[in-house]
Structure 1
Amino acid sequence: MKTTVIILLLFAAELTLQEENPCKLPAETGPCRGNFPRYYYDWDLQQCLEFTYGGCEGNANNYDSVEECEATCPDGEHKEQNPCELPADSGPCMAYFTKYYYNKESKKCETFVYGGCAGNENRFDTLEDCEAMCIEEEENPCILPADSGPCKGKFPRYYYDWDLKKCVEFTYGGCEGNANNYASLQECEATCPGEEEPKDEDPCELPADSGPCMAYFTKFYYNKESKKCETFVYGGCQGNENRFDTLEECEAKCAEQNAKVRFDTLEECEAKCAEQKKEESPCKLPADLRICRGSFPRYYYDWDLKQCREFTYGGCKGNANNYASLQECEATCPTEEHKEEPKEEPKEEPKEEPKVENPCELPSDSGPCKAFFKKYYYNKESKKCETFVYGGCQGNENRFDTLEECEAKCAEQKNRRRPCELPADSGPCMAYFTKYYYNKESKK
C-alpha cells in the first residue's frame, strides 16, 4: 500500500514538473482557424521548430521567434527579451492606431501604425511611456566590453575595442547585450571613438522615403534634383528626416539651400548662372513615375509625338515634366523652347461638356489604401445615408464626414424629379425671355 502511494506521488510530481516546464509540452495549434507562424521546443529533438498556431488557446510552448524559443528552452526559464530591442510590428490586423515604438537604430521613440492585434511589446500609447521605458542616460558605448548576451543565436556584429582603438567583429547571441554592438563595420567606425552619435546627415540631401507601412499621409520633402519642396505619400512609420508636415516647414529648412550658392568673382557667377538658363526644357524629359506607391493621374509632354499624354505618378520625386492637368501641360509645352510654325488644324465641332455625375448615385468606394476611417455615403437602393469604411485615399464623391452632411446633400434625392422630365413652365410673370427646355415627348 505504501509503495503504491509513493509511486502515485512521484507520478504526480513528474506531471507537475512537466506543467511548470513549457518546453516539455507538445506543439498545440488550438481550436481557432488563424494561420500564425510560431515556434515550439521539441523536447525529443532538443531544438526549436516552427509550427502553425490557430490564434487562440494552445499552451505555453508557443514563441513568436526562434530566438525567444531558444532563449527559454530547454531549461524552461523564460529570459525576457528587452522590448526596446524589438522592431516595430503592426500585426496582421487592418485597423489604424497611431502608437509609439523605440527605434534602436535611431535611438529615439517614433510613431508607427498598429493594426489592432498581435504585434510585440515594443508598442506604447504615448511618447512619454516609450521614453520612460527605453530611453535613459547612457554612458559612452564605445568604452563597454563586447557582450554576446544570454541568447544562443549567432549574429555577426562589431564592437569598439577601447584598448586597441579599433572596431572588431564578435558573435552576438540575439538578445540583451549592451550598446557597443553595431550591425556593420561602417556603423561602428562612424560612432567610435569620436562623438557618441554619428553626425546627422543633411535631411535635405535624402530621397523621399514612404517607409514600409501602408497608411496614406500627404507630406512634403525637398527634392534636390528640382531644388524645390514637393509632396509625397508617407506610409506612417519609419522613413527618414526629409519629411515635413507643411510646405512652409520644408522651405524653411531646405529651400534656402538653393539661395546660398556663393562665387568668388562676378565672372564665375555669371558663367555658372548662364549655364543654368540653358538647361534642357522640361518638355524634353521623359515621364518619370518614380518609386512611391501612390496613384495620381498626371500629364507629361511627349517630345516625339508632340502632344501631352496622361501617365500615373507615384507621388514623390520624378521630374519637372509633370502637370496636374492637360491644360497646364499644353500651356507650358512646346511654347517656350520648341516653337514651330503653327499648323492649321481642322475646326472641330464643339463637344458637349461631360455631365457631372451625381455623387449620390455612386456606390460606396473605400479606395485602395488600408487605413480605417468611418464615413457616410448615400445608398440609392435603401434611399438613406449609411456608414462605410474609407481607406484614406482615392474613392469617389459619395463620401461624407457626418450623417448630417450626407443627408443635406442626398437624402432629398427620393423626392426630386429629374429636371429633364419636367414640363415647360412660363411661370406667373409677364416678361418675355426666350429660353430652352427639354421636351421628353419629342426627345429634343
Structure 2
Amino acid sequence: MLLKIALIIALATEGSSYCLGRRDRNVCLLNPKQGRSRGYFKEWYYDQKTGKCSRFVFGDAVGSPDENRFSSESECNKLCRSEVPIYCFENITSNVRGRGSYKWTYISSNGQCVRIPWHGAVESGKNVFNSNHECEKKCRNPDFGPCAKGVSNWCKSMDTNWYRFDMKTHTCREMKWNECPNGDGNAFSLFYHCNQRCGRFILNKCQMPIQNMSTCVEFEPRYGYNHLTRMCEEFTGCADGGNSFPTVKACWKTCAGNSICAQDPHIGWAGAFPRYFYDINQNRCLRTYQLSSYVPGNTNIFYNLADCNSTCIANYTPGRIY
C-alpha cells in the first residue's frame, strides 16, 4: 500500500513539471481536461474568458504537455501571458516598518497599480516602480490584451447588441450605432462576458454587476454592491478581482460609506422602548432599548426588525438585469 502511494506521488511530481520550451502556446486556448480519474489535484490553467491563470481541480494525477494544465501560476503566466513581463506577476510587500517613500507595484489579479511604502532604490526587473505611469506602461498596458483593442467604425447597424471595454472610461458599455466587431477581441455578445474579461481593469468595482469572474475552486460567502438598490448583497463566490468583497463591512465602507448601514449605531440612553440597529461586523440586526421613542429616520436605528433587515441585509439574486 505504501509503495502504491509513493508511486502516485512520484508520478504526480513528474507529471506536473511541464517543459515550457516544448509546449505550444495554443494549449492556452483549450478547455482544461478534468480527466477520467476521480482524484483531487489542484493545479493551474489559462482561462481565456478572464485573461488570467486560475485554479482548477484535475482528476488525473498526471497531465500531458498538450493540455491546458500547469503545475504553478508562474508556469502558466510565462507561457500564456508572455506579452506581460514575468516580474509584473511578483507579489510585492512593503519593506518599510516606519517612515519611507512611496513606490508603485502592479496587482495583476485586480489589473491595477497601487502605491506602497518603500525604502531604498528600485531594482531593474522588479515589480516596483518610481511612478504610477511607469508601472502602468510596463505592466498594466501589456496586460490589457483585447480590452485595449479598437472597434470598426461606420459600419451597418446590427440587430444584435454588442458590448466593448471603453479605454477612456474604463468601463464596459454597449457599442454605439456606428461601432461593430472587427475580430480583434474587444467585442462581446453579453455584458457579462465583457465584465468577465475586462472587469479587473475597471477602477470603480462598485459599479460592476455582481458576478463570479472566474471558475471558483473553493467557494465562500462574498459581498457585492448593487448600485441599483444601493445595498451590499451576499453571494457565494471567490476573490477574483470583480465586485466582490471578503466582508460586508468592506463592501459598505468601500461603496456606500454614507449609508446609514455603514454608520455607527445611533444608540441613546437605555430605556423601555425596543429598537433595532444594524451591526456591520456581524451583518445582523440587533435589538436595543432606548429612553426615547423617537427614531430620526436617517441614522442607524430602526423602529422594528423588519425595517432594519430590509434596509441593510440582502442576498444576491442570480439573473438580475442591470
TM-score range, shorter chain: 0.3 to 0.5
Higher RCO, Cα 8 Å, sep 6+: 2
Q: TM-score, normalised by structure 1?
A: 0.28
